Chains A and B, each alone.
Chain A
Amino acid sequence: MKYLKVSCLFAFVLSLPLSTIIAQTDSTQVEEEEDYSLYDNLEFADESAKRFASVKVNGKSPDKLISVGYDFQGGYDIDAGAFGMFERSNQQLNATHGFRLGANIPIISKNNIIIQAGLDFWNSQYDYQSPDNLTHPLHKTLSENGLNTIDLSVTAYKPLNETTFLLGRVASGMNGDYALGDFQPLNYNRYSVALLWGKKPTDSKQWAVGVSQTYRAGELNYLPIFMYNWTSSNRKWGIESLLPARGDVRYNFSPRSMLFVGFDLEGTSFRIGNDSELSEPYNDLEIRKSELRFRFKYERQLIGFIWMSAKLGYRTNYSFNVDRLEGGQEFFRGFFGDQPYVMENSLTNPLFFNFSINLVSP
């Protein structure tokens, strides 16, 4: 019997988790003052390991993983040009408004490469003052269908070493007056590509130069890009820019509250008249829409990882002309081409505001 008791005690002691024993020991220990100078000169245990330029810049506003927003432009006029059998027509709008939803999810996130997938949906409803008296086809389709954008994108950040990096983005946009659930053919999708080479000389400064195929000016164009992100040493002031798409001067009230003054250049090519049975010149039309928005923007943390963003500013129209693209076949006009538009339109400029709730990235 004694032999049994000893054996059981032995078995019990052996079965105690080692950590429990250690914990008991630890709880009696007094933490000694640490000599931090021991950590000044360390090297990678894996000699082949490298350091890479981080994508983050001190003080910069957080990236948005998910965004739910609403955009509202006040009243303005659209002067639609003569087109086919239709004469020039000027109409007043009460507002243009719609939801803007976005998601930007990291797919691969490593030191030596980051790949993100993006999905954006923007809707614009055109609220005419006299919707029952519209005859011009541009006014009619804007009033009845509005414009939708669904944009799928992949963004890749590839650091080459501690200070140099590549940044690339490919996007495919389905833009038009289609109804959700009755999408337009994929051959009308418009593609944007950007590739940049950049440097990050300090944790507070990052710049890059590159080229892009873009629709920011409403129609196909090839433009140089310049990215510059910088934060002052006191972390109060900064610049966030990706020209020509956007540029901002930033003031940080705190890491969780910041004010921006700057602009956004928004644009793409919208297919309109989605009835394929229409004949020339009434089919395969695209609005070359581009607008420059000068605005104030305020972003702040609401709770945890939920942030708000509010914009208030002045929208100036850059282009709202219409091209005819047979079968969706694109062509290049650039800034200096002389190909005529099938409809030349002009817009007056309203105030706008935009509000969004965002889930921000760690």
Chain B
Amino acid sequence: MKKTILIAALSAMLFAFTTVKNDADGDRLTGIWEPSNGKVKVKIDKIGDKYYGKIVWLKEPIDPKTGSPKVDKNNPDENLRNTPLKGYRILKDFTYSGDDEWSEGTIYDPENGSTYSCTIKMSDENTLDIRGYIGISALGRTDVWKRLKLPSKKK
């Protein structure tokens, strides 16, 4: 009986360790990232067991037409067209699927109000290959995002 209990406990610990490691691997996605166009900075957080990215900085935060902070004016849903772009979640519902890849998510392009299927591949700790696509991955475009950090102190 003691042997059975010991095996059960060890198995549970191993499973728990694997889960914790998987969470830790997946959490490498969190942080501040810059898309290739440099127009925004996106902060990726984990909420529940999924990853979300929101705009936290805009290169041109003011709409020259209105003189006010930019809003999501191209959203196909009219009710969302007054939502400020700063703070807007453009990456949604990503889950870590192993092998440095996050999938099952979507990416939203405020430039044209389109939402694309999306996978994220971490090519190194500071680089993401973000592939937005239509239906199948071959019909898409990959954008490379770079990790940002607070400026190092000058000596």
Q: Chain A residues in contact with chain B, CB under 8 A?
A: 3-4, 7-8, 10-12, 14-20, 22-23, 26-27, 34, 36, 38-46, 49, 51-52, 54, 56, 58, 62, 65-66, 105-106, 109-112, 162, 203, 233-235, 254-256, 304-305, 359, 361-362
Contact = CB atoms under 8 A, between A and B. Distances in A.
Contact of A52 (B8, B36, B124, B140): B36
A45 B37 contact: no
A19 B25 CA distance: 12
Contacts of A3: 5
A3 B143 CA distance: 55
B80 interface: no
B83 interface: no
Contact of B149 (A14, A26, A45, A305): A45
A42 B151 contact: yes
A39 B87 CA distance: 12
Contacts of A23: 48-49
B116 A45 contact: no
9 contacts: A11-B8, A19-B19, A45-B147, A52-B36, A106-B142, A109-B142, A255-B74, A256-B112, A359-B134
A110 B125 CA distance: 17
A46 B122 CA distance: 14
A15 B15 contact: yes
Contacts, number: 152
Contact of A362 (B34, B39, B132): B132
Contacts of A12: 12
Given A8-B8, A17-B19, A41-B151, A234 B49 contact: no
Given A46-B127, A203-B39, A255-B112, 5 more contacts: A17-B23, A18-B19, A20-B49, A43-B152, A234-B64
B85 to A, nearest CB: 11
A105 B133 CA distance: 12
A244 to B, nearest CB: 29
A111 B144 contact: yes
A185 B46 CA distance: 59
A8 to B, nearest CB: 7
A273 B149 CA distance: 66
A305 B138 CA distance: 14
Given A8-B8, A109-B142, A44 B111 contact: no
B149 to A, nearest CB: 4
10 shortest interchain CB distances as A-B pairs: A11-B12, A19-B49, A14-B16, A42-B148, A23-B48, A46-B126, A109-B142, A362-B132, A45-B147, A111-B36
Contacts of B143: 109, 111
A305 B48 contact: no
A54 B146 contact: no
B65 interface: yes
Most chain A Cβ neighbours within 10 Å, of B43, B57, B87, B109? B57
Contact of B113 (A112, A233, A256): A256
